Amino acid sequence: MLDNYLLTELVTFAKTGTLAKTAAELNVTQPTVTRGMQKLEADLNVRLFERQPNRITLTATGRLAAQQAEKLLAQQQTFVAQVQNFDRRQTRLQIETTLPGPLLLVDRLKPQLSQPLQIDRSLISNNAIIQHLESYRASLVFSNQELLTSTVSSQFLGTENLIVHLQKFMYQANQTSITFDELHGLSFIVLDDIGSWKQISQQAIPDAKFLYQQQQSAFQEITAYSAFPFFSTNLSPLRPDNAAQLADDDRVAIPISDTSAHMPIYVNYLTSQRTTLQPLITMLREHWPN
């Protein structure tokens, strides 16, 4: 069996082109790399290198071996990650999301759950959902996309509805609902990490100014001491400090009527795990706010 360190040396040499750079990259001595490459040739019983007095290069066989070695090392890393991820899932559910709102409901329901949860609050892209599920990195992923493949299923949880909070003396504040067009030209305080809502609002109000805040505390402080409009959703009050802020704020909360302001939310999971996850999914759906 080939040692991984020999394959790593070969892949590194193919990228750097010299023994000296390979040794420096791997933090070993050049003679160590030389002996390693000689051992690899002996183990494989092929010639991997063209050796000249002041230069060493890969043969055609060496280049192929380096390419295959890189794939093999990557497969081994994937194997290790999948096994470790699967093992973690035996003791707790791994939750990921593409947008922040559904995590507020998970946080609210967490005390009622018997199984521990591990929540990753950094948002992932929709394109990463299937890979994260199939590699056991996540048990379930919230998104605004319904995914149905040979291994992945989705269930609809509810709709997240966008609301705008306007200063009560603005003429639009007298309305029972509002459209994106009626918000043109305004400046909004907005949290930066809001997933798909960011693109939706930018496209729907292209001439608006969005003053993005990376921290929740900064967002709350600015909204408390300014008259800038801001957005929330029907999920926002599930977070206690959000609920307190919304209750104390003197702005008028107005639902946005555009279709794009009503986002369907799905939970995605491995079909093979449906039985295990169904009680949690049912609880999320039953407690979804209107």
- Bridge pairing between strands 140-143 and 93-97: parallel
Give the rounded percent of residues in the chain with a pLDDT score beyond 90: 73
Judging by beta carbons within 10 Å of its beta carbon (0-12, 13-18, 19+), is residue 268 exposed, middle or buried?
Answer: buried
- For position 88, what pLDDT does the model report? 66
In sequence order, the β-bridge partners of residue 75 are: none
- For position 91, what pLDDT does the model report? 63
66 backbone dihedrals φ, ψ, rounded to 5°: -65, -40
Fold of the 4-78 domain: Arc Repressor Mutant, subunit A (1.10.10)
Fold of the 89-158+265-286 domain: D-Maltodextrin-Binding Protein; domain 2 (3.40.190)
Fold of the 159-262 domain: D-Maltodextrin-Binding Protein; domain 2 (3.40.190)
Distance between CA 284 and CA 83 in Å, rounded?
28
Q: Is the pLDDT of residue 171 over 90?
A: no
- For position 154, what pLDDT does the model report? 96
Which residues make Cβ contacts (< 8 Å) with residue 108, sequence separation at least 6? 238, 287
Residue 234, token pair as written in the block: 């029907």
Q: Is the pLDDT of residue 166 over 80?
A: yes
Q: pLDDT class for 178, splitting at 50, 70, 90?
A: very high
Q: Is the pLDDT of residue 85 over 80?
A: no
The answer to whether residues 233 and 101 touch, using CB atoms and an 8 Å cutoff, is: yes
Distance between CA 139 and CA 237 in Å, rounded?
26
For residues 121-148, give the mean pLDDT.
Answer: 94
- For position 243, what pLDDT does the model report? 79
Q: What element of type H or E holds 32?
A: helix 30-44
- For position 90, what pLDDT does the model report? 63
Domain boundaries, the chain: 4-78, 89-158+265-286, 159-262
For residues 74-97, give the mean pLDDT.
Answer: 80
Q: Is the pLDDT of residue 84 over 90?
A: no
Distance between CA 204 and CA 276 in Å, rounded?
40
- For position 77, what pLDDT does the model report? 84
145 backbone dihedrals φ, ψ, rounded to 5°: -120, 140
Region of 42 (left: φ > 0; alpha: ψ -120 to 50; beta: rest) is alpha
| CATH topology identical between 4-78 and 89-158+265-286 | no
- For position 283, what pLDDT does the model report? 94
- For position 224, what pLDDT does the model report? 87
Which residues make Cβ contacts (< 8 Å) with residue 62, sequence separation at least 6? 10, 14, 47, 48, 49
For residues 260-275, give the mean pLDDT.
Answer: 95
- For position 172, what pLDDT does the model report? 86
For residues 263-288, give the mean pLDDT.
Answer: 94
